[in-house]
Amino acid sequence: MGAVVGALAAVSLGFAPHAAAYDDVQSKQWYLEPMQAEQMWKVSTGKGVKVAVIDTGVDANTSSLKGQVLTDEVPKSVAYRATVDYTGHGTTMAELIAGTGAGGGLKGLAPGAKIVPYRIELEGLTGGAEEKQKTPDAVDAIRAAADTDVKIINMSFGGDGPSPKDKAAIEYAASKGKLLIAAVGNDGRTNGRIGYPASFPYVVGVSAADESGTVSKFSSHGGYVDLTAPGQDFPGWCDANFRSYCDDVNGTSSATAIASASAALIWSAHPDWTVNQVTRSLVDTAGRSWPKNDPSTYLGYGAVRPRVVLANPDYNPGPANVDPLARENGGDLLAKSADSSSSSASSSPSASASAASQAPEKGSGGATSAAGSSADSSSDSNTLWIAMGAATAVIVIGGGGFAVMRARRAR
């Protein structure tokens, strides 16, 4: 993002060496059935919701994304090669969110949503100094997206930090009512540290779980985890050639995309809700078997379950102007912005964001890079042991039981 962040990386574990059969991709998206996707789509497909995917670019010509990518809505200041994906990562995220599944491609959890692509410099960008100079950085992309009508900003990347510029960009976007969702990273096998932007206040940090519901062994952990979602053992694009998918494109990146799609389904069904109400609905209905006021270090408030909201036409999302994560965020940014605006007619969004930057950091402790884990793609996450006397708990996605190891969230 800023100079302090240094090299950012997309938080997937890398591509498995064997390609997935193109016509068998959707059968490997194991989470669609337990999340009851078909039933949810009868109520909402995400139609009317735009999701900014800030990543390695998004190829708008894959069979699953044709007609799904709003290339003409990328602000000109950050539009450089937005639809030229240099690793396949951004395109995978876009398909997991809003892919139609046409031609046997990945089926997005919110196939009625639309993608606005942003291409930033992440690991894998080639072309030398000139290409890097022309490619927007994350700060510019976040600010640009904040000034559009996208509702959700998906950030499946991470790095060291923070810098004042990074934090100000996040708070600016939050002050505009955007739902910011980011991957917590893949350092679970090493130090478990969570990088930025997931570590910032006003960003929903997402961890990953496998098909059994076990926390993925690679998934980073700590006080910055807010939700978890499926993020292991399903296909994604192998490279920038887009000839075939590869199996087991694992990472909290994919989990983040599915969390963003979950939010899109809810927001589409309730277009008059605010970001606070959509976030609250995700938190309140998340699958967990522990008290909501004691979130898990590994799973946050639990597993995303948009079907619970969609199945209840009388669901009460709570107050529109109260941040459900104000405790983690160090205060309610929108409320502070409103107070600032009422006290000074000349107050601007940037000034409001600056004032809110005095809030304490989300969670506790520092954070290092959340990207570039050296973990392999093993799915033996059921062997993950969490120290500190953790008790076993069960969370539920759809109708399935998700066995996880539970630990007290650090603050």
pLDDT above 90 as % of the chain: 70
Q: Residue 334 belongs to a domain with what CATH number?
A: 3.40.50.200
**Is residue 2 situated within a structural domain?**
no
**Is residue 318 situated within a structural domain?**
yes
**Is residue 136 situated within a structural domain?**
yes
**Is residue 219 situated within a structural domain?**
yes
**What digits encode the pLDDT tens for the residues 15-62?**
443 555 555 899 999 999 999 999 999 999 999 999 999 999 999 999
Please name the residues in contact with 262: beta carbons below 8 A apart, sequence gap of 6 or more.
Answer: 109, 110, 229, 282, 304, 305, 306
**Is residue 48 situated within a structural domain?**
yes
Cis peptide before 360 (omega within 30 of 0): no
Q: How far apart are CA 1 and CA 159, in angstroms?
A: 8
**Is residue 123 situated within a structural domain?**
yes
How many domains would you assign to the chain? 1
Q: Quick one: which of 149, 10, 14 has its CA closest to 85?
A: 10
Q: Quick one: which of 290, 294, 220, 234 has its CA closest to 35?
A: 234
Q: How far apart are CA 306 and CA 134, in angstroms?
A: 38
Q: Tell me the pLDDT of the chain averaged across its residues.
A: 82
pTM over the 0.95 mark = no
Checking if the pLDDT of 375 tops 50, the result is no
**Is residue 411 situated within a structural domain?**
no
**Is residue 410 situated within a structural domain?**
no
Tokens for 37, please give them.
Answer: 């996707």
**What digits encode the pLDDT tens for the residues 155-211?**
999 998 888 999 999 999 999 999 999 999 999 999 999 999 999 999 999 999 999
More confident residue, 339 or 314: 314
**Are 303 and 227 contacting, i.e. CB atoms less than 8 angstroms apart?**
yes
**φ/ψ (deg, to 5) at 172:** -65, -45
pLDDT at 9: 78
| Banded model confidence at residue 339, pLDDT cuts 50, 70, 90 | low
Query: Stretch 297-323: mean pLDDT, rounded?
Result: 97
Taking every pair of C-alpha atoms in the chain, what is the biggest distance, in angstroms?
60
DSSP string, 118-141: EE---TT--SHHHHHHHSPPHHHH
**What digits encode the pLDDT tens for the residues 79-98?**
999 999 999 999 999 999 99
Checking if the pLDDT of 294 tops 80, the result is yes
Handedness of CA 194, 206, 371, 142 (dihedral sign): negative
- Which residues constitute the domain of residue 71? 9-405
More confident residue, 244 or 360: 244
| Banded model confidence at residue 107, pLDDT cuts 50, 70, 90 | very high
- Catalytic positions: 55, 89, 253
